[in-house]
Structures are given as structure tokens and as C-alpha cells.
Structure 1
Amino acid sequence: MDKFKIIDKGNVCTPKGFRASGVNGGIKKNNTTKKDVALIVSDKPSRAAGTYTLNRYAAAPVTVTKEYIKDGILQAVVVNSGNANACTGEKGYLDAKQMAAITAQNLNLKEQDVAVASTGVIGVNLDMEVMGKAIIKAASSLSYEGGHDAAEAIMTTDTCSKEIAIEVDINGTPVKIGGMAKGSGMIHPNMATMLCFVTTDAFIDQKLMHTALKEIIDDTFNMVTVDGDTSTNDMAVVLANGMAGNKEIRDIDDNYKKFYDGLYYVLEALSIMIAKDGEGASKLFTVNVLNCTTKKDAKKIAKSVIQSSLVKTAIFGEDANWGRIIAAVGYSEAQFDETKVDIYLKSGSMSIKVAENGAGLVFDEVMAKEILSKRQVEAVIDMKDGTNSATAWGCDLTYDYVKINADYRS
């Protein structure tokens, strides 16, 4: 925490030279009030990096953004919620390009410098007449105070916006990193997850920034699951406009490490916000795997447990069913000594050991239930077989998850 300062009510407009907006454009079905189109714009061209879904049915906006970011430069991002523009064929691809073109025309930018993202219902074509008017409205609403509006405009089933900003000292120069994300359901990342947009006024080499993003994504967004479904629209994009005025970060040195740690904090915080706001969730569930032989195996185990429907329902039911946890450890395909595994359940300062050396213990069921009744619950799995660890974030599986997704298109 002493490495950087968390900025109160910070967002994507906290770094120098970024404006944003979020407006109601009529994209969402039967919606006349909720914001559904967002813009983020830098005052100057920015170095850019991105990661994207590995779903074979990647949405049209993902395809277009991957094409436009190839030169490592972007200046704006246009996003709509309410319609994923996924599985929409050639028309969907042309519509995504048109979103970029309309944005560029209204902001006097190059079309290729505009990233495009969408989220919502799959398989429905955009109404480009409505979309065009919405983008014009968003462009006319841009402001250096518009970050929160933008964060609200990208929400679908999210119950709250997800945004954060920090300040890092880079060789005596204050550098800011701001981020926003959306994600509540269809969360099981295979690159990033959901939608995430990060802005920074850091002056940093584009390739170094891309390397940092990919590495951090693996330990943050790729360690989140809500329901085991990988979206067609997942995207995480970082824009760095260099307006902080720091000396360019060009090498893997102390300044790079400070930027890396700051970006890590932002993405980890957004990851936790997504897990906490999982569709229908009543609890944030964290799995910490300790003392594993390899980092790869630690991640396998953490993700296996966090995505287990049986574990998730046990957490919801406040049932200390450690057998479900150890079963998920067992089928994770990680290599470990099954006679060494200890399991603890924790919440805040409360902790109880429920399994030791791969076998159950007699434990206080009342205390265990009290721990599981808390809003934030943690399972600690000590492999006692190495020095590597991993953390995964998720939530419980509730009745409300089914209700939300049973009528999602309604």
C-alpha cells in the first residue's frame, strides 16, 4: 500500500488528459433511462495494449479492436451495453467498424485509433441508426469528470459500477492509473474476462506495457470465476498517453516494477469487485492455495475449487462441507501429495481447520457455520509440499443466479 496512493472516487478520467461519457442511447430493450453507451477519449494518441477472449465465437467488436490495435496506438474506446454484437456475421463486423467510424468522425480521429466493445445479448444485430445517434450524444457529452458515467454505461446485470484509480511515484513524477470494468455473469476467463478499460498518463514503452498486462491478467482476471462460462466479448484494453511527463519507462527496472505493481493492484481490485458482484451472489468467496510444488499447480487447484458448483452451493448454504473442497483439489489434475493437504475456513480474524493431511477433523460446526455466514469467506488450502501459492476469487451459487439468467433476454 505504501507503493502508491489510492485516489478517492478515482476512475478512468483520473489520469491526465482523459475524458469520458456515459449516456442513454436506447440500446437496451425497453430502456429509456439507463446509460448504455460509453466513450473514453485521450487528448492525444496513446500507446495501447489489449487481451481478448479465446472463445471461438469472438464477437465482432473483439475482431475489429484486435485489427485496429495492431500498430499499438489507440485514442478512444466506444462501448455499448445491451447488445453483444456477437454471432452476427458479416453485418455485425461491419456494424462494429461503423461504430468506430462514427466515433472517429465526431471526434476528428482516425477510425483505426478507436477500439470497439459491446456487451449484452448474443445473436442480435445492432440498430445502427439508434447506435449512431447514441454515439453522437456520447461524443457531445464528453468531460474530464465523466468517468463514473462511463462505468455505469457498460453495466448489464451488474448491481454496481466497478472503478478505481491510484497514483504511483515514478522517479519523482506522479503517475496515475485508472480503471473500470463490468462483469457479473458469464464470467470464467480464458484471457481477461468481461470488459475492462484502463487509462494511465504514464510514459511507457508499448511492448513493455503489453507484457505487463498479459502477465498480470493471468494472476488476476484469469483467476476469477462466477459461473464457468467464458464470454464471446471479453476484452481488457490499456491506454497510456504519456501526459504525466515521467521519463519513459523502457527497461525492466525499478520504475517498471512500480508501474507493474500499480497496474497489478488496479486489475486485482477490479477482479475482486467482479467476483463480489457475481449474479445473485450473497458472498465473496476466495480460495488461497499455499505451499504448492509449482505455481502452475497452485493455480490449477485454486481454479478447480473456486469453480466447483458443489463447493459454491455449500458456501451459499453455510455448510462446512470440506469434502467438496478436497474433491475439487483431487480432480484439478495438479501434482501433489494427497497425504499432506490441510484445509481451513476463514473470515476476517476467524479461522477453523477442517481437514489435516488429507483427512477430516472433528471441528466446531457452530463456529464453522458462523464463519460461512459472513459476507466474505475464504478457503485456505495448504499443500505443505513447496513454496508456490495462488489465489482465485468467486462467489456462492444462489437461487437468484438461476432467476437472473432464466429470463435474461426478457
Structure 2
Amino acid sequence: MMTWLKLAVRNLFRNRRRSLFTILAIALGFAAVNVLGGFTDYIFSNLENSYIHVQANGHLTIFKPGFLKEGKLDPTRYLLDEESTKTIEEILHHYPEVLVVTPQLHISGLLSNGKVSTIFLASGRIPSDIRTINSHSRGLASKFQQFTGRPLEDDVVYGVGLSRGLAEQLNLDIGATGVAMAPTVSGQVNALDAQVFQLFSAPIEALDDKLMLVPLKFAQSLYDTSSVDRLIVLLENTTQTEPIRKRMAQDFNARGLNLEIKTWNELSTFYVKVKQMFDIIFLFTFLIVFTIVVMSVINTVSMAIMERTREIGTLRALGLKRGGIVVLFAAESLMLGLFGSALGVVLTLLTWSGIALFKPTWVPPMITGRVPLEIYLVPEYMAFSVILLGVLSLMAATLPVRKAARMEIVTALGHT
């Protein structure tokens, strides 16, 4: 076998320019596919990390049944009372995989600066729990400050955070005070002073003029209730999400709790849509690039066969069988694929190193702030590309070389 490979390498060097351009085509195709694959993996990973850790939505969310369908129309019907909340926390306290269990109450109403008012959507959370969830964030995005100003505090009820668009609309800067108004669970109008502790960028541009972050006690005081509408559960690992959900459902049923448990990817419709879009883009790019690569290999092998038809006839006259001719050219084609893949690995690593060195940032669609641009190295993609390119290179050589190997020896020797 080594003899065939040595002959294949020598034959490639007989026409260095053609072999070089074919190897470059394979390498560029390899690098393009793997850089795009690394970019899509970066997108998926950061969308997941952003939803679970940066936005502090956790891996699992517990609701009362029907909240997601009808809760927007009448949210007070689907609140979890203190007793239910304590029972849930008690059950999950015995799960070693659970890192954080924290209640939340999402509210809406009007925010006023004393002159004008506008609608707000607020998430009432326990700030210390949110910081714990944020601390498990990974990647370069985790190093970026998510807000300007001071952190919210558990016991400072009036301190709130405003999205930058909302603050600009009401002309409220850090330290300014506004008034939040909303109907209580009993239907009466309530109002609370709210001092701006921080300004943050909304995760979606369309909501940048509406979002607030408030302590849980603020939300409960405004709605005049001690209940919450959900519990957020953070796990050690994302892969544990589905098994833990099934176990939680069994334990809740055993305690007589009728609850609905949703995973992070079921609630993050934006993640699902973006993933589907990038999967399709990657598939089309993969097919186009590898089709071009295969055609380049077929062209190179076909030209080599035409130029070396007499050589094929001579080898056949010396006793080399047709299978030997096929093996010889297949080995050459395989070496083209392997050399191209090796150079492609180098180009991929150079691209990755350049981006890691210069640390560029960009503004993705529907995102309000700049985020770091990264390309992940995905060994599975690279290994698959090497194997696939090797197989495709072998297949690309099969048809033209089999046709040449079936030539009569006399015809091949007389070829001009």
C-alpha cells in the first residue's frame, strides 16, 4: 500500500501547478465549511448561554397549568401561592443537580416621569439569585458588563433597572425617580416610587423601550400579593434538562402538585428559529462548496488521465491489471483530498487564531449592543470533513479512471 501512495505523491508533483490549484480549492472549501460551522456553533452556544445565564431564565421554568396560554389575559388566576412555592423549593432542595431555584413575578403597567407615562413590562426577581445564575455564564460574552449603574439589591425595594430605550423615552437617568402604576390582584390601582439604579440593553431591540428589572418585593408590592407566577431552575449542566424535568414531574405529582414544567428551548422560540435558519444556511453552503471541490478533483484527474493514456497502456503492457490502474489514480485522488484537508485545517486554525487575537465585536440582528465575535473549533466537523473529502475524492476519480483502464492496450499506446 505504501508503494501505491509513494507513486501517487510522485505523480502529483509531475504537474505541480495543477495539483497545487486543486489542493488550494479543496483547502479553501474545507476552511469555508469549518469556519462557517464554527461560527454557527458559536451562535447556538451563545444564544443558549444568553437565555439561560445572561438573561437568567435558567434551564427549567415551573408554571401553573394554562399560564402560557391564558396567563396574559388573566395572570392573577395562575399565580403560585407561598405554600406551593415553599413546597416546590423543598422538593428541589434535595436535587444535587439543581444549583438555583428562584421565584419570579412578571408585571406590567405604566411608568411615569411626572409629565408623561408609557407602558412597561417588568420582571420581578431576587437580585442575589440572578447574580448567582449570571456567574455561571461562559464565553467572552460573560465578561461584558450587562448594565451601567449599580446592581439591584434584595432589600432595597425601590431600586429598579430600565432598558435604555425606556429611560431615553421618559428622560430618566441613573438616580432619577419615576412612578410605576399597575392594577393589584384585587383590581385596585397601586403606585410605587421607583429609583433608577441601572440602565441595561434589552435582549431584543423591539422591547428596548418597554423593559424594566425590579426586585421581587417591588413587583409583589405593586400587585399587592405574596404570590409569584413562575419558578426558575438552574441546573449544573444543560444535558440534564430533560431527565430532571421528568423526575420533577413525578415528584410533583406524588406531592399532589399540578404544575407545568417547560425547558429553556421550549420557551426560547428565538433560539429555535435562528437554529433552524443557520442549519439550512450551513447545509446549502456545505453542498455548494463540496460540489465545487468534487468537480475540481474530477477535472484534475480527467486531465491527468488524458495526458497519461500512453503511460496507462505501457503499464498494462508490462502486466499491470486494470484494477492496478484504478488503484493508482484513486491513490492520487485520495492524496489530493488529504493534502487539501491538511492545508484546510491550517487555514481554519489561522482564521480562528486571527479572530481570537484581534477580538472583533459586532451587532447581531435584533440585538441592541455590540457582542464579541468568535469562531469555535469543532473537532467533530473537522474530522467529518476530512473523511468526507477523502471519500469524495476517491469517488471522483472512479468513473474516469475505470473508463481509461478498460481501454485496449494497443489503443492506449497509440493515443495522441
Q: TM-score, normalised by structure 2?
A: 0.28
Relative to its length, the structure with more helix (as a share) is 2
Structure with more relative contact order (C-alpha pairs < 8 Å, separation 6 or more): 2
Query: Larger radius of gyration, structure 1 or 2?
Result: 2
Tell me which protein shows more strand as a share of its residues: 1
